Amino acid sequence: MKSSAIPLPRIPALPGSPARDFYAAEETASHTPGGSPLGHYHKEAECLYVLEGNLSFQVNESRMVLHEGDVLIVLPGILHHDLIHEEGTRLIRILMDPALLTREADIRRRLIHPFFDSGEKACLLLPAGHSLSPAVHSLIGEIKDEESSTDPFKGLRIAASLHLLLYRLCQAFPPEDAKKPLPSREDRETQKRMIHYINENFGEKITLDAIAAAGQVSKSKCSSLFRTYIGLSPIDYVNEYRLGVSKNLLEKEDTPIADIAYTCGFTSQSYFTKLFRQSFHMTPREYRAAARKI
């Protein structure tokens, strides 16, 4: 019988974890708590600033490589995921709920809503050589430093810096410039419904039929969309999602490994261990021990 009492860790944008309203940290290729290799979406806007190296990334159907000095803004509700972090890659990742910004009605109507909620853009790329890049880089670095400080009033400084960052981004990407709707909006919404179904039901038996039904498409269409947006088959995505949740539970909880396996939707501990070893080159027990030495 499956256990349902295991709490899921609160890590932003990670499979199986509710996102926080705000997150800012420097990450490396081997430690990316704010990102996820699985296709996902969330209410937060996500800002990536590559400090060193290269990062392969996918937004909707588009794959790109971010180089040192590039800044990418992924808008709320957009399908995206990290693809490959080259060894030595360092970046700053910020996740922010636009609701944290000013409540002043005119500013929200004219600038904040058009910038974040127009539905006409998926992301904004500010290349390293852009004239506004130095100012944007400085603000992103300040936000990351402020988040890790012990200043009891740091929330005010972070709020101020977030507004200044939006000011610079609006200079670089005026909201009124976004006029042309993106294609395939219906497919994207279908993909999001299928991802949501998996997010909500990963602990239960999930079949290709059920995933396709959640998206109201055929099984072939379902598989095609997963290949386009995620780069995996639907069932492979389910297993990767479950493994992502299990990693966090192994790190955070003392629950028996068999209970974690069943909570994450695996039919047996042996099958869970087999898939875990294939993906991470160690058993769940070895992973737990290694994670707790850090």
Percentage of the chain beyond pLDDT 70 is 86
The 10s digit of each residue's pLDDT in 78-123 is 999 888 777 889 999 999 988 888 888 888 888 888 888 766 789 9
CA distance 73 to 3: 38
Across all residues in the chain, what is the average pLDDT?
Answer: 85
Q: Tell me which DSSP letter residue 187 carries.
A: H
| 261 touches 269 (CB < 8 A) | yes
CA distances (Å), 279 to each of 42, 46, 88, 226, 239, in order?
25, 26, 21, 19, 10
Same domain, 95 and 151: yes
Average pLDDT rounded to a whole number, residues 130-135: 96
The answer to whether 122 and 64 have CB atoms below 8 angstroms apart is no
Task: Tell me: do 162 and 212 sit in the same domain.
Answer: no
Give percent of the chain with pLDDT exceeding 90: 56
pLDDT of residue 123: 94
Band (14; pLDDT cuts 50, 70, 90): very low
Taking the C-alpha atoms of 50, 48, 35 and 179 in order, what is their torsion angle to the nearest 10 degrees?
A: -140
Q: Please, are residues 90 and 55 in contact by the beta-carbon 8 Å criterion?
A: no
Q: Is residue 144 domain-shared with residue 240, that is, in the same domain?
A: no
Encode burial over 159-190: b for 16+ CB neighbours within 10 A, e otherwise.
Answer: bebbebbbebbeebbebeebeeeeeeeebbeb
Which has the higher per-residue pLDDT, 239 or 105?
239
Q: What is the mean pLDDT of residues 166-176?
A: 88
Task: Please tell me whether residues 167 and 199 are part of one structural domain.
Answer: no
Distance in angstroms (rounded) separating the CA atoms of residues 172 and 108: 18
1 domain-assigned: no
Does 14 map to a domain? no
* Residue 205 confidence (pLDDT) above 80: yes
Q: Is residue 9 part of a domain?
A: no
pLDDT band at 176 (very low <50, low <70, confident <90, very high): low
Residue 30: predicted pLDDT:
60
Name the β-bridge partners of 63.
58
- Indicate the number of domains in the chain: 2
At 33 the pLDDT is 57
pLDDT at 34: 59
Pairing of β 80-85 and β 55-59: antiparallel
Write the CB contacts of 222 (distance below 8 Å, at least 6 apart in sequence): 194, 208, 211, 212, 215, 234
Tell me how far apart the alpha carbons of residues 105 and 3 are, in angstroms, rounded to a whole number.
Answer: 46
The CATH number for 51's domain is 2.60.120.280
CB atoms inside a 10 Å sphere around CB 98? 19
Which of residues 118, 150, 177 is at a domain's end?
177
Q: Look at 293 and 143; give whichever has higher pLDDT.
A: 143
- Residue-level pLDDT at 294: 61
Residues 31, 105 within the same domain: yes
- What's the whole-number mean pLDDT along residues 23-27? 91
Cα distances (angstroms) measured from residue 239 to each of 1, 156, 243, 272: 19, 41, 6, 9
Predicted local distance difference test score (pLDDT) of residue 15:
45
Residue 227, pLDDT above cutoff 50: yes
Its domain, for residue 94, covers 22-177
Residue 111 contacts residue 168 (beta carbons within 8 Å): no
| pLDDT value at 157 more than 80 | yes
Residues 208 and 136 both lie in one domain:
no
Judge if 118 and 67 occupy the same domain: yes
Is 273 a member of any domain? yes
Q: How confident is the model at residue 5 (pLDDT cuts 50, 70, 90)?
A: very low
- Asked if residue 151 is part of any domain, the answer here is yes
Range from 104-108, 113-117, 153-157, 166-170 that averages highest in pLDDT: 166-170
Q: Can you give the pLDDT at residue 231?
A: 81
- Regarding whether 89 and 36 lie in a shared domain, the answer is yes
What DSSP designation does 31 have? B
Give every CB contact of residue 160 below 8 A, 6+ residues apart in sequence: none
* 47, two tokens: 């800002």
Q: Which residue has the tokens 């400084």?
A: 157
